[in-house]
Structure 1
Amino acid sequence: MVYELSHYIGGQRVEGTSGRYGDIYDPCAGQVQGRVPFAGADEVRTAIASAEKGQQEWAALNPQRRARILLKFVDLVNQHIDELAELLSREHGKTLADSKSDVQRGIEVVEFSAGAPHLLKGEFSDSVGQGIDVHSLRQPLGVVAGMTPFNFPAMIPLWQSGPALAAGNAFILKPSERDPSVPLRLAELLTEAGLPDGVFNVINGDKEAVDTLLEDPRVKAVGFVGSTPIAQYIYATAAAHGKRAQCFGGAKNHMVIMPDADLDMAADALIGAGYGSAGERCMAISVAVPVGEETAERLIGALQERIKDLRVGPSLDRDSDFGPVVTPMAKERIEGYIASGVEEGAALVTDGRGLKVEGYEDGFWVGPTLFDRVTPEMRIYRDEIFGPVLSVVRADDYEEALRLCSENQYGNGVAIFTRDGDSARDFASRVEVGMVGVNVPIPVPIAYYTFGGWKASGFGDLNQHGADAFRFYTKTKTVTSRWPSGIRQGAHFVMPEGS
């Protein structure tokens, strides 16, 4: 039976009225399991009006009381984490363990955001001039919006909304239409936690909904995570309409394996970082860069042995290492890249095409795929594949490996595996990438540091979560004050000086 979802406006679920819908697939069964309404411009404007009204009440609460509501929300999410993980796995296809991690990493940012009373403190300087004091205030922007991807339907919405709400803003979420059930359930839990109606709204939709949010002057800032072309479009459109924007795009994350690395450790890391979640992660390792021919040969052998033992299966099966990809279009695109790699001369060591899972023959399965002797000119190296495809690009020496990582158009994440502290320190300092791992394959920063890539991976001056999030979701007001002392100063015709 096909289920039908809704929007979430003003503290309740609201049926769509546009008459337009998108399909939600069951990736394991390979069939449509639900429909999600696509909001028209009027529905989006209704959500904005609801957010604008609710934000006034929310901003009037002091930061500590807002934090208490967020902490109650965290408690509710933890109580419902099994339910949320199953919802997520059924629509996305990732394993239950991976889905729980998706929720947990999002909740960590909400927990950090509960420190808003400290994070929103301004500055104060006394006696900057004769009888003059200066202080600054951090105040909410008002209504803000987030557009989030299918691959982390809990984590990214929580990364964006947690700091925004803690700072006193109202938030409108436009989640991916591929797996929207978890965002809608999170909205209900926020209301249950005590969030005023209208402060968190969920609008499902496509470009019409996105453009309405970008063009409406009541929306003061937007956050986006997705592909680079869309990130560029949203960043440019938001700027043209006078909005703040932080937009994060694609990635091509490299892992350098030095000759002195613990090879078993490196191979285990590559298997998890390359094939976990079927490679549908912006921080997945998709390029391995062994330094030296001997290192490359040993690495290929170690990877082949581990790939044989991988279990690709249903997302709700606790024995599955990873599940299907999200849609039939995703499967077709990934298999097209594998064919391209073969055509362009890469050595196909392991072919993940044609995989069938017993009892789920129509699912969107792509098995672990390994290419060797990939070169930078090939499409499988240049483009973000977003699937379980790992490319090995051999480097003659350390400098060539460093150059490969730094010259790629993307600059999201990178890792180096080595036992040598000098090499690691030099790499971390010189590589032109925003997030660096040393013997850590997926260097996603913890909640109180910021997450963000460089070059074509990120657009905007401030990153996600950490202190940057509170800078992004607030505006600074600076107050210069003098209280009458009974001494007449007379008129001044020049700018005041600080001494």
Structure 2
Amino acid sequence: MKQESIEIEKLHYEKLHHFVNGQKTPGQSGRFGDIYNPALGVVVKQVPLASSAEVRQAIGIAQDAFPEWAATPAGRRAQVMFSFRDLIKSHMDELAEAVSCEHGKTLDDAKGSITRGLEVVEFACGISQMLKGEHSGSVARGVDCWSVRQPLGVCAGITPFNFPAMVPMWMFPVAIACGNTFVLKPSERDPSCSLLLGELMKQAGLPDGVLNVMNGDKEAVDTLLTDGRVQALSFVGSTAIGEYIYHTGSAHNKRVQALCGAKNHMVVMPDADMDQAADAVMGAAYGSAGERCMAISVVVSVGDAPADALIEKLLPKLDALKMGPYTHADSEMGPVINPQAKARIEGYIEKGLEEGATLVRDGRGTVVVGSEKGCFVGATIFDHVKTNMSIYTDEIFGPVLSIVRADSYDQAVKMINQHEYGNGVAIFTRDGDAARDFANRIQIGMVGINVPIPVPMAFHSFGGWKRSLFGDHAIHGPEGVRFYTRLKTITSRWPSGIRSGAVFNFKAGGEH
């Protein structure tokens, strides 16, 4: 315990930096934000919060780096991504430690999220194939027509705390591979991983100024939104902020993709394999302490029997769930990000009780021995939840599962379609006809059939519907390439003197 206290004291005085023009850059604003180790419940680092002037300087550096990087052959840009891929794999433990220390998720969870980001890097390695245009020869006599996709310029990304490795890697590798330069504004709650990624990109051979990491808060965000040199902006986070970013950025003539909140439902049909469904709920509802936009936070039981059977199977699993800090090898669920998040989640649990839901398992007051000040919230289950309750309507972003009982399959579909969010959804059933009908009728961007978290592979694109996505493009995959490039179409005619009879030499007395 004494050694742990010494390490905490040492970390408390560590001040982070920005990463600009290929260099670690100290903050100049004089403002700093606190970074918690959520398993300990104490501040361990401080992050500089950039001023508008600092962000504008980084944008200028990215703009200066753009012409040369855009002119770099796509194959050479891909080689940087290949090297970056290898560096991520060789630094996996270091990156996972940075994620877990500041976010709180277990090391296995952290490594899993880094691996999902790595898949997008691997997709970006094939950028030469994705940038191929279309060609039509002889659309008229002597006329050819073709299209190319060209980079936009300076792009920016604003990323959330819950996936400090994966989400940045959903953005900047594709943008940079397409020939753009990039300014990344990671969450000020856990920025160390993004700073490490910037350093690894430099080691991979990326020229200085192509990727810049600026830490900050609303002042930094507003600068990225309003500076005319930023051509496109990607965001992942809450709906309230995402809607603001979309409208503000669009008003300043930027291309914007804003991936926002979610309330993901999992429909459990009477014929579902209940063991499979229970295992799916454990991982999808409580993995990463529920702090992910694709978490299953609502189970819709078609009839009472699936709900009763599911609860019966979940309770012993919850009894066996091991909560603890990431430093314990047997930990299966870590803390939430900070004390404010813990208080907010526990407030929702109290609100659910007030609104009349049945609290089957209460995660409040969870104490982990050795981490008594940690930001732990235990796995929670509400039953008999109604659609007008806040625990149903709102994204809680914590380990709180609501069970809603629907009278019929059609009522379940209608309920989900009427929710304002449309990120992800799942159905568990043995009935192929029901699954096919569900996939076609449900108004949600990503659908799982006996798959609880239907996050697509990197060569497909990720994005929700309704108030879960603002903008016309989903993220990564083919949609990501389209977002970070603009289409140019060329029509060309080269007249032939032989065929046209045109005269190309001067003759006395003739027409010139």
Q: Normalised by the shorter chain, which TM-score bucket?
A: over 0.9
CA distance in 1 between counterparts of 2:368 and 2:317 reads 19
Aligned to 1:208: 219
**51, 55, 76: which one aligns with 1:44:** 55
**1:297-312 mapped onto 2 (5 Å cutoff):** 297-312=308-323
CA distance in 2 between counterparts of 1:311 and 1:56 reads 52
**1:222-371 mapped onto 2 (5 Å cutoff):** 222-371=233-382
* Aligned partner of residue 481 in structure 1, secondary structure: strand
The amino acid across from 1:303 in the alignment is L
Aligned to 1:147: 158
The amino acid across from 2:122 in the alignment is E
How far does the alpha carbon of each residue in 1:148-178 deviate from its partner, in whole angstroms, 9 at most, with x for none? 0000000000000111011000011000000
* Aligned partner of residue 405 in structure 2, secondary structure: coil
Aligned to 1:62: 73
Asked if 2 retains the 8 angstrom alpha-carbon contact of 1:290 and 1:299, the reply is: no
Asked if 2 retains the 8 angstrom alpha-carbon contact of 1:462 and 1:472, the reply is: yes
Deviation for aligned residue 1:485: 2.2
CA distance in 2 between counterparts of 1:170 and 1:224 reads 16
Matched, 1:484 2:495: yes
How far does the alpha carbon of each residue in 1:158-199 deviate from its partner, in whole angstroms, 9 at most, with x for none? 000111011000011000000000000000000001000000
Deviation for aligned residue 1:351: 0.3
**1:390-401 mapped onto 2 (5 Å cutoff):** 390-401=401-412
The amino acid across from 1:279 in the alignment is G
Structure 1 gap segments, 5+ residues each = 490-499
The amino acid across from 1:228 in the alignment is T
Equivalenced residue count is 489
Aligned to 1:17: 28
Asked if 2 retains the 8 angstrom alpha-carbon contact of 1:239 and 1:245, the reply is: yes
CA distance in 2 between counterparts of 1:395 and 1:437 reads 19
CA distance in 1 between counterparts of 2:293 and 2:286 reads 12
Deviation for aligned residue 1:303: 1.3
Over 2 Å off, 4+ runs: 485-489
* Aligned partner of residue 393 in structure 1, secondary structure: strand
How far does the alpha carbon of each residue in 1:446-469 deviate from its partner, in whole angstroms, 9 at most, with x for none? 000100000010011111011011
The amino acid across from 1:336 in the alignment is G
The amino acid across from 1:59 in the alignment is A
Deviation for aligned residue 1:330: 0.2
TM-score, normalisation: structure 2: 0.95
The amino acid across from 1:232 in the alignment is E
CA distance in 2 between counterparts of 1:49 and 1:222 reads 16
* Aligned partner of residue 79 in structure 2, secondary structure: helix
The amino acid across from 2:151 in the alignment is P
The amino acid across from 2:197 in the alignment is L
**413, 417, 424: which one aligns with 2:424:** 413
**12, 19, 27: which one aligns with 2:38:** 27
**427, 432, 435: which one aligns with 1:424:** 435
Deviation for aligned residue 1:210: 0.6
CA distance in 2 between counterparts of 1:296 and 1:35 reads 45
The amino acid across from 1:225 in the alignment is V
Asked if 2 retains the 8 angstrom alpha-carbon contact of 1:405 and 1:431, the reply is: yes
Deviation for aligned residue 1:328: 0.6
Deviation for aligned residue 1:58: 1.4
The amino acid across from 2:416 in the alignment is C
Larger radius of gyration: 2
Aligned to 2:460: 449
**1:174-185 mapped onto 2 (5 Å cutoff):** 174-185=185-196
CA distance in 1 between counterparts of 2:59 and 2:202 reads 17
Deviation for aligned residue 1:128: 1.2
Deviation for aligned residue 1:316: 2.1
**78, 81, 89: which one aligns with 1:78:** 89
Structure 2 gap segments, 5+ residues each = 1-9, 503-512
**416, 424, 435: which one aligns with 2:446:** 435
CA distance in 2 between counterparts of 1:442 and 1:15 reads 39
Q: Give the alignment's Cα RMSD to 1 decimal.
A: 0.9
Deviation for aligned residue 1:136: 0.9
**1:98-247 mapped onto 2 (5 Å cutoff):** 98-247=109-258
CA distance in 2 between counterparts of 1:334 and 1:177 reads 20
How far does the alpha carbon of each residue in 1:331-360 deviate from its partner, in whole angstroms, 9 at most, with x for none? 000000000000000000000000111111
The amino acid across from 1:354 in the alignment is G
CA distance in 2 between counterparts of 1:73 and 1:294 reads 50
TM-score, normalisation: structure 1: 0.97
Asked if 2 retains the 8 angstrom alpha-carbon contact of 1:57 and 1:196, the reply is: no
Aligned to 1:495: none
The amino acid across from 1:291 in the alignment is V
Deviation for aligned residue 1:488: 7.4
